[in-house]
Structure 1
Amino acid sequence: MLALLAACGKPKSKFKTYNGPAVTQVVINKGDRRLYLLNNRTVLKTYKIGLGNEPIGDKQYEGDGKTPEGTYIIDRFNPRSRYHLSVGVSYPSPEDTQLAAALGRKPGGDIFIHGWGPEGRQLAPKKQDWTAGCIAVKDDEIEEIYAMVRGGTPITINP
């Protein structure tokens, strides 16, 4: 019995470690469907991404299915995300809130870079842009991102 248990080994942890150069900025180019982790001007990693289910244009209000555009910061980490792991984006900015209010709406929130999780594993192969406004990468990729970025890191989301 002990030999059988030893052969099984430890389950793979979703929490990786990273000891390379600091990520000083995250850049997302929505049109190219790419996320870049940078150390100053050097690209450390590049990932293919999925966006909100209405990928063209800037997020204007809660429920519009768009991914926001602008400069924000990484402001939180969720190790228990239903999308494997997730890294929070500081949306909405005061300007985003003001725009939504001018439209008589709420700006929404809870914008994350996250993995696929069970929902994404079903949707992503059929439809690249499937989130409600978040940025999605594969589960093994969010594990890398989660390990590499720190709170307070600037994130720029371009059209």
Structure 2
Amino acid sequence: MIRRNILAGLSLLTLAACGSASSQPPPLATGTKADRLLVDKSDRILIAYRGDREIVRYTGIRFGDAPTGHKQFEGDERTPEGRYTIDGRNGASRYHLSLRISYPNAADRAYAKARGRSPGGDIFIHGQPGGWPGPPLARDWTDGCIALSNAEIEQLWDIVPDGTPIAIRP
């Protein structure tokens, strides 16, 4: 009986450890604003900073269906890498809110043009698909965007002004 209870407890701990990171962000002080963002694709994190101070960290973020490498062409399903800015927002997005990333930049356009291709565009940080009833999708599923939970994008929406620099690392 004791052994069965121990095994049941270990099973519950294992299940809890296998779950994704919390999709509920930590509370922030009213009026908190970020002045830069960092995305690390390898570690699957997005960090908002104010000066040198980390404001909030989101883990387990999702990318395009082909997450490795820099976005080069329309339809390659990759998430860009490099330095961009948040240059707009869409409260009526078909995903739960979206912050537009300034991809493609001049270098991205030149690279694609030299190869007779389109660099693509419309890269955003956004929440889950509109009307999605469940927890955040637990796989890479976008066409090159950065996906957060709906609660996380709501918080990020509030703290990130347009013009905020974003660095996306491999």
Alignment partner for residue 148 of structure 1, among 146, 152, 159? 159
The answer for the alignment partner of 1:106 in structure 2 is: 118
Which of 71, 81, 100 does residue 69 from structure 1 map onto? 81
Runs of 4+ residues over 3 Å off in structure 1: 118-125
Long gaps (5+) in structure 1: 1-16
Q: Percent identity?
A: 44
Q: What is the deviation of 1:22? A: 2.6
- Pick from 46, 49, 53 the counterpart of residue 38 of structure 1: 49
Distance 2:79 2:117 in 1: 16
RMSD: 2.0
1:134 has 2:160 as partner: no
SS at match of 2:107: helix
Counterpart-to-counterpart distance in 1, 2:132 and 2:79? 16
Indicate the structure (1 or 2) with the bigger Cα radius of gyration.
2
- Give, in whole Å, the separation in 2 of the partners of 1:156 and 1:19: 25
Counterpart pick for 1:94 among 92, 97, 106: 106
Deviation at 1:21, TM superposition (A): 3.7
Can you give the 5+ residue segments of structure 2 that lack an aligned partner in the other structure?
A: 1-27
Which has the higher mean CA deviation after the structures are superposed, 53-62 or 114-123? 114-123
How many pairs are equivalent?
A: 142
- Are residues 1:55 and 2:43 paired? no
Q: Distance in 1 between matches of 2:39 and 2:166?
A: 8
Asked if the contact 2:136–2:149 (Cα under 8 Å) also holds between the matched residues in 1, the reply is: no
Residue 85 of structure 2 aligns to a residue in which SS? strand
Q: Deviations over 1:74-97 (max 9, x none)?
A: 100100011110001001000000
Structure 2-normalised TM-score? 0.78
Structure 1 Cα separation of the partners of residues 132 and 147 of structure 2: 8
Equivalent position amino acid for 2:97 in 1: L
The amino acid that maps onto 2:69 is: G
**TM-score normalised to the size of structure 1?**
0.83
Q: 2:92 aligns with which of 76, 80, 89?
A: 80
Distance (whole Å) between structure 1 residues aligned to residue 74 and residue 131 of structure 2: 21
The structure-2 alpha-carbon separation of the partners of 1:121 and 1:61, relative to structure 1 and needing over 3 Å to count, comes to farther
SS of 1:55 mapped into structure 2: coil
Shift of the 97–121 alpha-carbon distance from structure 1 to 2, 3 Å rule, reads: farther
